[in-house]
């Protein structure tokens, strides 16, 4: 039978139960704290942000029937932007026409020293979003489907360590 703590008879029982509850809370706190300080936590946070960007890219593509290639970078340390201000969060680069993708990727990597990169690219038959860090990769692929005279994006497929940008991680390397 479960009873509220204040319905137990002796003061000693209350103290023992209170100590047990506090120790269990401390274990949960320590567990959460070790997770929060872990690489797994960082990768999970990157995955959540990558998923959000992938869904936003899909809705932007759907609204305009196309999307310019974009590169997102999470710098390891704050960098100075073109306007002279420090940037310590997500950096976005819309890759200009005429600039080879590989060159833009390498230039962005040299400038931002990224913890993670995310590439949004419209390929011939699908919208592809690839998140890459030293933890591994995750890709979101939205196939283009013709419905009459309209092209729409289909259901996404998600892949882990299948696609890569090839800057921070390559197939065959260890992941978390």
DSSP secondary structure letters along the chain: ----GGGSS-HHHHHHHHHHHHHHHHHHHHHHHHHHTSHHHHHHHHHHHHHHHHHHHHHHHHHHT----EEEEEESS-EE-TTS-EE-S-EEEEPPTTS-HHHHHHHHHHHH-EEEEEEEEE-SSEEEEEEEETTEEEEEEEEEEEETTEEEE---EEEESS---SSS--TTS---
Contact (CB, 8 A) for 108 and 117: yes
Q: Long-range contacts: 33-40, Cβ < 8 Å, 24+?
A: 39/135, 39/176, 40/176
Q: Which of 118, 122, 72 is nearest to 94 (CA)?
A: 72
Tokens coding 129: 């979003």
Per-residue model confidence (pLDDT) at position 1 = 28
Report the DSSP beta bridge partners of residue 74. Answer: 116
Per-residue model confidence (pLDDT) at position 125 = 93
d(Cα 68, Cα 98) in Å, to the nearest integer? 12
Tokens coding 5: 């703590």
For the stretch 76-127, pLDDT in tens is 888 888 788 888 888 888 888 888 989 988 988 888 899 899 999 999 999 9
Per-residue model confidence (pLDDT) at position 138 = 95
Per-residue model confidence (pLDDT) at position 144 = 94
Domain range list for the chain: 9-36, 39-160
Cβ-Cβ contacts under 8 Å for 94 (sequence gap 6 or more): 68, 69, 70
**Positions of the chain with pLDDT under 50:** 1-29
Per-residue model confidence (pLDDT) at position 157 = 95
């Amino acid at each position: 039978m479960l009873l509220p703590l204040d319905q137990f008879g002796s003061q000693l029982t209350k103290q023992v139960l209170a100590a047990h509850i506090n120790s269990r809370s401390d274990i949960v706190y320590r567990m959460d704290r070790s997770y929060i300080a872990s690489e797994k936590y960082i990768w999970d946070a990157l995955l959540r942000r990558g998923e959000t960007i992938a869904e936003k890219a899909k809705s932007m593509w759907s609204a305009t029937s196309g999307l310019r290639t974009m590169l997102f970078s999470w710098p390891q340390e704050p960098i100075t932007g073109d306007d002279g201000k420090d940037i310590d969060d997500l950096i976005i680069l819309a890759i200009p026409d005429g600039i080879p993708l590989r060159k833009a990727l390498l230039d962005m990597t040299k400038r931002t020293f990224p913890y993670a990169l995310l590439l949004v690219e419209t390929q011939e038959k699908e919208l592809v979003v690839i998140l890459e860090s030293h933890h591994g990769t995750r890709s979101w692929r939205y196939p283009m489907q013709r419905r009459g005279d309209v092209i729409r994006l289909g259901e996404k497929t998600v892949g882990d360590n299948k696609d890569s940008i090839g800057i921070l991680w390559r197939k065959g390397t260890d992941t978390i």
